[in-house]
Structure 1
């Protein structure tokens, strides 16, 4: 059993393995079978690893010896070094793992269930938002005489006009752009594995048509929609564009367009939602398009009040 865990992509920490083969197996099973999202898996693995290292440094030899006092002390110490959202994420990872171990009979109960995390209330998101004029300036500044420019404009336009997350955008295949009722549609594979089908804004339709027609990838249905550029060739490869590369591209394009705001991939989601609401869209429909489980999440992207706040500040005439 120990060999099975060690052979996995995420070996069990010494603290877990010390509780026996059953604990090591349940640990591997938790990350391999219970957490499907790779980003969540990576974040939880980091959080659990840090917690186990902290416990080992304080003399604990097995996860079976962990009590609520240890977890509370760890959360307290973590709160002095990290912001509340980070602490809450770490506690969530610890709580879920220990709950899984308890359900499998490794622990008699979940000691983390009695530990409360820090309070954290968010009423306004921190994602940078572009004014409509800035978004247009960015799109118009891209040189679309080359494949990389066509790709970048199509990707930015997709995030802007569909509120797509970067993960959903970079996961798209060519076949996820299709015609229905004489209009171009896109299929986004959002969180939870749910496919979201949306009609294209007329600008996005033009961007996608230009990208697909000019680069010659339209016939490659199974291939990735957004691809890397071959080194020294300037041509598209068949390798999906990583999210990190997309972020670097967005920063580079913004700087070239003279946009001072420090933006990222999520900026276009927030910019699109804000523009939609400013033009009479409803919060409920925005949440549906963005694939938010609650309109409270959508409200974090609504920056219509920013203009009101600026007008009020300008009343301070000295």
Structure 2
């Protein structure tokens, strides 16, 4: 294969365009890829090397520095994944003949089970919300939609009210890679949206946010940070000591569906996971709950606890 001349344009900018247009990745994902790539660029600058001349040995040294800096195995794996993607792009476009990341291994990561809220804990959080205020009605509707539909926070903040189909009982969600999916929504969540809509329609929308469902007082969509802050505040008021985030409601949605007997493939479709592998983590949660139930209720375990005074 004949190698092209190194591009005169910024290769990172070209890579960003490739990620957005060719791979259809979201703005947040692209920014994360580029941010992680910047760590490699700083490393090669110190080593007085060119990115195009990086070798497998250089990359091993780079990974060793990440480890020495105390960066977690999970973060190391994410950084390495981004670097692999960049070099695959350079090879694909013909700027490099071989990929120096081909033999580069990611650190082993233990599968960390996500935090899950019990139904009673979710009810306690919702009960703390003062729905006599416009912001309270908005926040109650938001949290109910998070839990009822298992949305990512970016999907929630981007939800438009024309995509809420009240009569049919589903919402249209724009997920990762601009892929649309239909998700059933509970009547409880729909009622909370109905209660909030008069307040939403009374707010003058900023340009470009005319039909966004959940907005701030200035008529713009809420930031991810703001949704995180809202969830944390209500959890604290409800006396929830678990470390939670908006994503916790998504985990709880999937876990409660699985415990209720829902099909794993159906849960995958509702969550918008591309592969069943991403959804299978919830079977681990279910197995752990089953293990606890057996330990708690099986006659052999009961008799053992009696004998040992537990």
Q: Give the TM interval when normalised to the shorter protein.
A: 0.7 to 0.9
Corresponding residue for 1:162? 149
**Is this contact kept in 2: 1:147–1:214, CA < 8 A?**
yes
Alignment partner of 1:304 is 2:286: yes
Number of the residue aligned with 1:58: 47
User: Cα 1:50–1:262, aligned 2, differ >3 Å: closer, same or farther?
Assistant: same
Larger deviation: 218-227 or 255-264? 218-227
C-alpha separation in 2, matches of 1:307 and 1:93: 35
Structure 1 residue aligned with 2:251: 270
- Give the match's secondary structure for 2:171: strand
TM-score, normalised to structure 1, is: 0.82
When residues 22 and 159 of structure 1 are mapped into structure 2, their CA distance, relative to the original with a 3 A threshold, is same
* Unaligned segments of structure 1, at least 5 residues: 1-18, 230-236
Task: Decide whether aligned partners of structure 1 residues 313 and 86 sit closer, same or farther in structure 2, where only a CA change above 3 A counts.
Answer: farther
Corresponding residue number in structure 1 for 2:198 = 213
Distance 1:86 1:101, change over 3 A: same
Whether 1:39 and 2:21 are equivalent positions in the alignment is no
Report the Cα offset of residue 247 of structure 1: 0.2
Aligned residue in 2 for 1:140: 127
The DSSP-based 3-state class of the residue aligned with 1:114 is coil
The answer to whether 1:22 aligns with 2:7 is: yes
Judge conservation of contact 2:19–2:30 (CA < 8 Å) in 1.
no
Q: Among residues 225, 245, 263, which one is paired with 1:244 in the alignment?
A: 225
Residue matched to 2:91: 102
TM-score (norm 2): 0.84
1:112 corresponds to 2:76: no
Q: SS at 1:197's partner residue? A: strand
Supply the distance in 2 between the matched residues of 1:23 and 1:83 (Cα, whole angstroms): 35
Paired with 2:277 and 2:96, the residues of 1 have a C-alpha distance of 36
Q: 1:186 to 1:217 in 2, by over 3 A?
A: farther
User: Partners of 1:159 and 1:198 in 2: how far apart?
Assistant: 12
* Structure-to-structure mapping, 1:111-130, within 5 angstroms: 111-122=100-111, 124-125=112-113, 127-130=114-117
Are 1:98 and 1:111, in contact at CA under 8 Å, matched by a contact in 2? yes
How many residue pairs end up in the alignment? 288
Give distance in 1, aligned partners of 2:87 and 2:267.
Answer: 37
Q: What's the Cα RMSD here?
A: 2.5
Taking the aligned partners of 2:144 and 2:228, their CA distance within structure 1 comes to 14
Q: Quick one: distance in 2 between partners of 1:104 and 1:308? A: 50
**CA offsets per residue over residues 169-218 of structure 1, 9 Å max, x none?**
11111211133xx3443111111211112232111111111111344359
